[in-house]
Each structure stands twice: as C-alpha cells, then as structure tokens.
Chain A
C-alpha cells in the first residue's frame, strides 16, 4: 500500500516576545492508503496544531511532512493550496459552511476551485448519499447542526480526496446525530478508499479508527493499534 502521509520529527514552536512555546515536539508517523487514524489528547495537547500541519495549513518549525508524495515544507503557500485542493478533504468542528451559499453550492466549491465543470450531478449525488437529497437549495441557517455537518462531509468528498482530515467532526452534535454522521463518514471512507485522520475527544469514535495517537504537552506519548472488530 502507498504511503499517503509521512510525518517525521514534527515540531512547532511559537514565539511570544522573548519566550518560546513548543506546542508540538518531535512527532512522527506514517499513514497508508485507506488507513483510519485518530489523534486524541487533552485540551492544549497540540492535536489541532498537528492536524493543521499535516494538511499543510501551516508550516512546521522543524521536521518534515510528505503528503501524497509532496514535501510540504518545500512548497509555497499557493502550491500547498493546490495540493490540498487535489488530495485533501476537510471537516471542521464548527462546520464552516459558507453562509451565502446553498447546500449544493457549498458542496461544489472545492471542485469549482479546481476548474471542474459538470459537477452539479456529482454534488447532488453526494448530498443524496448523506441523506440531504431534498435540502439542495437550503442555506446553512436553514439547516440543523447535523445537517450542516453532513453538507460539510459531502463537500469534503467532492474532489475524491486521498486523505480526509476531520477536526472534532462530532464535537458540536448530539449523540444520535453524531452516530449517524460517523456512520456516513466511515462508509464514504471505505467506499472511496480515503485515508481518514480524526482529531477527537470522543474515545468511542477514536476506537473506531485503526490507530490512535495520544498527545500530551505536544509529545506523542502513545501510538496504539486498535484491533479490528
């Protein structure tokens, strides 16, 4: 299986005046095609920072990230954006739908950014797959939290990404909605063969992934392989 994400000795330090704060310290791991991976840890342990670095949203202070064969450290801002557009899907805790766009238009945005045409049918199918086939023309304010997150999930899959990053995807949802969303997420992951990287506080959700990385104070304290059910 091909390596999709390779993280080596990843360190991130922030400077505040004369003081410096290391929020991530020498983290390394590899993920292959179709892997599911969760990052867990208490608040302030560096989970979101690690996710942002892996997705190329930020640059590391030290170490390297290879995403789908691209050395993210050597790329400029716009080149990293192109890599994200071609290979990455993203789901946020607070959904981050564009408020002025309908559900269908929100899903189409990544494909449109890529310059793809004839994407309406694909977007519609994805929304139907997440159970929102009848909500295409609704704006985010007209959707519930669970529905918004399902739109966000459909948006993340529109470009058929090699890897999906999800930051606390069920953090703002109730238990029932969360369970429904998880089902969809893992199903889409299996169907498309996408690698899945999750940041979560939810131990149950984490246990559904193949591997769990535990962070504490920016350091990887444990990498656990979860036995298949």
Chain B
C-alpha cells in the first residue's frame, strides 16, 4: 500500500466535499468544545482554589458548636492564643421597616478580625470595614432586591435596629448561591439581642484563629481532636476546607462533563450517519480504484485518512470554540463558586478534549467505512452488481461497534464522579436511545402505512419521502427527539412538583408556620392571629434533645468503637413533641401508640420508621434522651410512618403527655393566610410584637424550590440545546448529502407537470412531518419519564399540562421546517437537462 498515494488521493478525493465534511463534523465540534471548556474550567477552578485556599476559610483554624463552648473548651481556646474572632449564627426574622415586611434570614453576628484572609465584598466597597464599629448591618443583595431596600435603610433583628451600610456580594466560606436559599445578614456580635440565641433557635457558635507565628494548624487540630470531639465541637482547617470545596466542585464539573459526553455521543452518531451516506456516494470511485488495482486496504485507508483529517479539523475547531466558551462558564456558575476563576487556557484540557474528539470521530467512522471493504470492482461495470450483505453479518462491524461503545463507556466512567455513575449514565442513555429508536421507527412506519389514500397527493408524497434512501430519518428523529425529551421531561416534572406545592397550599391546608414561640407567648400570638382574622390550625410544643444512649450504650462509647458506624441520626439534635394522639399525617405501622404517661417506668415513645432504621432500633429498645441536661429514659413502643410532604409539624419522635411538660419548650403555630398580602401583614405584625418568633410561608418555600430548580434546569436545558443543535446539524447534513437525489425528484416531478409550488409543498410536508415525529417521540417518552418520576420519586399525583408541550412540539416542527427548507434552496431551480445529464 502506497502511503503517498493514499494521502494524496484522500486529499484530492475530498475536493468538492470539504464544506460538506465541515458540516458533518460540526456536531463533533460541539462535543469537543463542551469537553474542552468544561475541563479547562475545572483546571482553572482547582488552581483558583489552591491559590486562594486561606481565603476559603478566612482563617487558619476554626471551631464550631451548636451550643455555647463549655468551660474546658473556652480554656482551651484561651490557651491556643493567636488572633481570635468569634461569630454566632442563627436563623431569625429580619424586619425591614421601610417596606414594612419581614423574612426569615441567616444572621451572622461577628467580632472584629474575621475574615483574617480574604474579605467580605460589599457595595459600596469598604462597608465591611465599618459595620462593626458603626453598629450597622450588611445585607445579602438578593434580600435587598426582594424587599426593594437600599443602603441607608434599616433592618431590625430581634429588638435591635441596624442601619444597612452595604449589600453583601461575596463572603468567605460561602458561594453567592447560599443567599438564594437563606439570605445572610452580617451584624456586630456586640449588642446582639441575646434573647434570639437563647429562646429555642438553632444557634451555631464559631471561633476563628489566625496564627501569625506560622503554626501548623492541621497538627494543632489533630492534637486537640479528642478533646474537641468529646465536647461535640467541630473544627476546620484550611486544608480541610480546600479539600471539601475541591471535592464538591470536582463533582460539579465532572457532572458538567457528562453534558460533554452526551454531545460527543450525538456528535459521533451524527458523524457516523453522515459518513455512511458519504461512503455510499463514493462506491463508484472505490470500484474504479479497485478496477485499476487498488487493494482493499488502500481504498479503506483513503477514507480512513479523510476521517482522521476530519477528526483533526473537528478537534482543532472544537478546542478553539471550547476555549472561547470557557470564559462563559464562570459567569454562568458564579453563584455557586467560592472563588473568582481567572480565565487561562488549560493545555491538558485542550489536549484531552481534542484527543477524545479525534478518537470518537475515528471510532464512529469505522462502522460506515467497513462498507468500503465490500465494494467490488464489478460495481464500476454495473452499479449494484454486487448485492452487499447486511452489515450485521459482518463480524468486523460488530468489532467496530463494540470498540465505539466501549470507548464511550470508558470515557463516561473517566468523566463521571464515580464509575457507577458513569456506567449508569451510559446504560441510561443506551436505554433512552433504544426506546427513542423503537418509538420513532414505529411512528414513521405507522405514518407511512396508515396515511389515508384520500389525502392530497402532496401530503402522501411528503410522508413517503421519509423513506427516501440515505435520508437518515432515524438519526434525525433520534437527535431531535432526545432534545425534545430532555426539555419536556423538565417541563413535565417541574409541573408535577409545582402542582404538588399548589396542593400543599390549597384547600384548608396551613400555609404559614410560626415557630420559636415561647410558652408565655403562645396565647398572645394566637390572639394576634385571631385579630388578623386567621385561624390557628395547630399549636404544637417542641422540646429540643439529643441522644445520650441506646440500650444503655452511650453515643460517646459508640463513637469510640470503630466497628460501629454512626449516622446523622445519632448525632443530630432532635426536636420532639408530646401529645396524646396521632395526627393525620401519621400512620401507625407497629406496636401501640401510648398517648399518656403516668410517670412510672420508661417513657413510651413513638419513632418514625426511617429514623428507627437509621439508628438500628426497634420496638422495645431503650433510648436515653438528654433533654437540655436532664436524662430521660424512654422505650420505643410504636413505629409510625410519616407523610413528610404535608406542610405540618412532623416529628421523628413523639412523646406522650405527662413526660415533657416541665422541659423548656417552644411552640409552633400553623395558620392559613388568604393571600400573600395577608401573609406578609401577619408576619410583620408578629415579628413587630415578638421579634424572636420566626415564620416561613409557602411563598418562601416556592421561592427556594424555584431557585434550586432553575439551577438544575439550566444544566438540563444546556444538554437539550446541544442535542437539538446536533439534530439540526444532522438534518442539514442529510439534506445536503441527498441534495442531488432531491434535485432528481424535483426534476422528475417538474417533467411530469408539477409546479414549483407543489414541489415546495411536498418538501415542507416532509420536514414538518419529520419535526412532528421527532418531537412527538421525545414528548411521549417524557410523559412516561414524568409519570415514573412522579410515581416513584416525588410520590405525587401525575398531572399533565398540555399547553407547554404543544408549544414545544410546534417549535421543534418549525425549526425542522426552517432548517430543511433553507438547506433545500435551489433544488427546484436547477435546469432539468442539467440534472438529467449529470452523473455526479
């Protein structure tokens, strides 16, 4: 085999097809671009985290606890020395007098000093340097926007009113997204209304250290670990914080990498489908080469060289686009990032992305290229002289397919956060592929078979055209269908979740919860509600407690025992209630619920089934509770299932009446406001009268849901966009490669007397039906997926909203029609004789 001939012939043979080839690989360009940009962004992110490690924590070391530090820890903190700064954080209602509105916020009360590294970025700049001395507040930008308050207005936390000195833009330890879920307010620790931290609220106490003497914070922390753990005090060092962020962000960008994987897969399929048609059109050339003595290897090599060339160009273009795209990612994800990511080209990412792009191009062109092997020189004498066997009978076709599949799976595994996710993702995509392919082929066959003969000719001809050889109908339906599937699944599941929230807030369900109400405030708060004309739907006492021991084995002892794995359920602070009956959201599954305790023996408690499983306890097991210093012995006498989706006060453990009445408690009161305005008025009235009382309304929950969902939706839309774009590229390629065939059809119709209008109508019907079948396939699959999600995951009633799906159907049909017609320009205009004479 002459390499010289192969290379030069491959180059010459590509003349006239190079623009088409560029179109073939543009789907691959998208995939490489996605990979390069995502991986390059990941590299830059890691570098940024390394460079700004200390600013992530804002200190060299930190301790944190849910309770005020006990004396021995205070003594320890004293002995550690260095520069220290304390912070106390809790949730509280923030009342803004200017608009007269209140909302739950995360309050962080600081001492001077923190952050020792990095800074709190505010607008106006420098407000973070002044607010402690000026006894002012810094408020999250999102919260200020929500209530339309400005710097200079004031905010009341508890009984203290603070002038707002600036809006928070960036803070150490937290990404801006935190503000979406729980907006932050920074105030000075000095002068804090201490009733807020003593009356039931969950409070986090922190102390931050800076060691100007360059002490090894990790070594110091390790030496103190046992003491800290015994006192339930957590700690954090720069290295740990850095590792934590690194892990979380690696997962984020690896997940994004799966977006790249899908676009690469689609790109690969797009290239394979285009090459399939391209090779078919090259059969005459291959046959002539064979007549003149070219070996099978030489002819295959010619087209392999072209494929490699296409792969290289695709990889280069993709890298170029990817480097450009990379500048956009930090902007899109800035809310989630703890550091500023500086743009720099990551050459390893470029090399990896282009290498994978080149590899996938070659792997996916191998399957159609195998066809070249079976071209007989006899094809030069009589086209179609040799009946070619189905590729499924060619063992090499299976080898090439297996290589392509395993290459992709391996890539998914490399890119995914772990191998199971990669494997699952590949399997899921394969399943979607099979279902989509099956559904679309059924739909196309059904359409062709059941199109009534009474329909006008243009419609029947347009539908029949879907079966044109080389039309790549299945591939187009798959790509467009996949994109439509992703978008409609998103629409369907979003609707299911929103409907569920509507149900929660509908009818006679409560839609406003007030908590942290002290025992002496219960009656006045209920009275205030009555004055506002809203009902008290439930009023529940809550007592905070921790697990001390299970069946006499203390949690501390379990912690020491390395053979036992302690879960969140062992460590958490429990908020339990006491009552004599079960509520509507509870179902007894085992044992007998005892509502009254007569004071003798262990207290009979009812456990929720999941937490019981997590703790490894069952009926008859004994639990010792530490109720704010007082030990109470209890026995599990019943197990309950709880419907957590109801907006009610639900509990892991329920005590009987007669057990906790003397314990310090706070109350939760639930009510129903008629509308948002009444809810806002009610919250303001309560917080004005009782600043320690916090409230959450359904609108707030909806807001949080929307904030989370819109972030997830963005990534899914991104995937869908890639998919639809690939589908349109495949459509454009297919129309262009079958252009001569379309011209011949058009000429034949013209010769038979069809007008320009008729020919255009037939084409329009073909593209519209193609768009319709693709979109319908995706939507049908999305309805199945949406139903499965609502039934198995959300456990909600499946409700279908047709309008958004119909709009999507129309959009995909229109897009397909426009792209198809644009690429068919000039088909009708070609002179009849030109086409009839032409051999090419």
A82 at interface, CB cutoff 8 A = yes
B residues near A90, Cβ cutoff 8 Å: 291-292, 380
Q: Which partner residue on chain A sits nearest B2 by CB separation?
A: A115
Chain B 522-544, CB within 8 Å of chain A: the 1/0 string? 00000000000000000000000
A49-57, A202-210, A217-225: which lies at the B interface? A49-57
A140 at interface, CB cutoff 8 A = yes
CB distance from A77 to the nearest CB of B (A): 6
Question: How many Å lie between the Cα of A134 and that of B285 in the bound state?
Answer: 25
Contact A112:B378 (CB < 8 A) given known A55-B291, A141-B840: no
CB distance from A147 to the nearest CB of B (A): 14
Q: Which partner residue on chain B sits nearest A78 by CB separation?
A: B295
Among A52, A57, A112, A141, which residue has the most Cβ atoms of chain B within 10 A?
A: A57
Question: How many Å lie between the Cα of A155 and that of B294 in the bound state?
Answer: 15
Chain B 284-328, CB within 8 Å of chain A: the 1/0 string? 110111111111111000000000000000000000000000000
B residues near A114, Cβ cutoff 8 Å: 293
CB distance from A37 to the nearest CB of B (A): 18
Task: Assess whether B288 is in contact with A77, with CB atoms less than 8 Å apart.
Answer: no
Question: How many Å lie between the Cα of A51 and that of B381 in the bound state?
Answer: 9
B residues near A52, Cβ cutoff 8 Å: 377-378, 381, 385
CB distance from B608 to the nearest CB of A (A): 71
The dominant DSSP class at the B interface is helix
Task: Assess whether B293 is in contact with A85, with CB atoms less than 8 Å apart.
Answer: yes
B residues near A84, Cβ cutoff 8 Å: 291-293, 377
Contact A167:B381 (CB < 8 A) given known A100-B15, A100-B17: yes
B14 at interface, CB cutoff 8 A = yes
Task: Assess whether B840 is in contact with A57, with CB atoms less than 8 Å apart.
Answer: no
B residues near A48, Cβ cutoff 8 Å: 381-382
A2-10, A91-99, A182-190: which lies at the B interface? A91-99
A81 at interface, CB cutoff 8 A = yes
Question: How many Å lie between the Cα of A48 and that of B377 in the bound state?
Answer: 13
B376 at interface, CB cutoff 8 A = yes
Among B9, B13, B289, B293, which residue has the most Cβ atoms of chain A within 10 A?
A: B293
Contact A98:B285 (CB < 8 A) given known A84-B291, A112-B5: yes
B residues near A77, Cβ cutoff 8 Å: 296
Task: Assess whether B296 is in contact with A78, with CB atoms less than 8 Å apart.
Answer: yes
Chain A 99-136, CB within 8 Å of chain B: the 1/0 string? 11100010001101111000000000000000000000
B residues near A112, Cβ cutoff 8 Å: 2, 4-5, 8-9
A residues near B14, Cβ cutoff 8 Å: 100
Q: Which partner residue on chain B sits nearest A145 by CB separation?
A: B837
The dominant DSSP class at the A interface is helix
CB distance from B403 to the nearest CB of A (A): 24
Contact A101:B12 (CB < 8 A) given known A48-B381, A112-B5, A113-B298: yes
Task: Assess whether A141 is in contact with B13, with CB atoms less than 8 Å apart.
Answer: no
Kindly state the interface size class of chain A when it binds its partner.
35 or more
A residues near B289, Cβ cutoff 8 Å: 109, 113
A residues near B380, Cβ cutoff 8 Å: 57, 90, 92, 96
Task: Assess whether B2 is in contact with A98, with CB atoms less than 8 Å apart.
Answer: no
Q: Which partner residue on chain B sits nearest A152 by CB separation?
A: B288
Contact A81:B290 (CB < 8 A) given known A92-B381, A96-B380: yes
Q: In the complex, which of the residues A81, A92, A101, A167 contacts B293, with contact meaning CB atoms closer than 8 Å? A: A81
Question: How many Å lie between the Cα of A90 and that of B295 in the bound state?
Answer: 17
Contact A113:B293 (CB < 8 A) given known A101-B12, A140-B840, A141-B838: yes
Q: In the complex, which of the residues A57, A81, A94, A113 contacts B839, with contact meaning CB atoms closer than 8 Å? A: A94
Chain B 17-36, CB within 8 Å of chain A: the 1/0 string? 10000000000000000000
Question: How many Å lie between the Cα of A102 and that of B840 in the bound state?
Answer: 14
A58 at interface, CB cutoff 8 A = yes
Task: Assess whether B292 is in contact with A85, with CB atoms less than 8 Å apart.
Answer: yes
Task: Assess whether B378 is in contact with A96, with CB atoms less than 8 Å apart.
Answer: no
Chain A 61-78, CB within 8 Å of chain B: the 1/0 string? 000000000000000011
Question: How many Å lie between the Cα of A119 and that of B489 in the bound state?
Answer: 63
Contact A115:B5 (CB < 8 A) given known A81-B295, A96-B380: yes
Contact A110:B292 (CB < 8 A) given known A57-B376, A99-B840: yes
- A-B contact list, 30 entries, CB within 8 Å: A51-B381, A52-B377, A57-B376, A57-B378, A77-B296, A78-B295, A78-B296, A82-B293, A83-B293, A84-B377, A85-B294, A88-B293, A90-B292, A92-B380, A96-B287, A96-B380, A99-B16, A99-B285, A99-B839, A100-B13, A100-B14, A100-B15, A109-B9, A110-B292, A112-B2, A112-B5, A112-B9, A113-B5, A113-B289, A115-B2
Counting from the closest, the 10 A-B pairs by CB-CB distance are: A85-B293, A110-B292, A78-B295, A100-B15, A57-B377, A99-B840, A115-B2, A81-B293, A112-B5, A84-B293
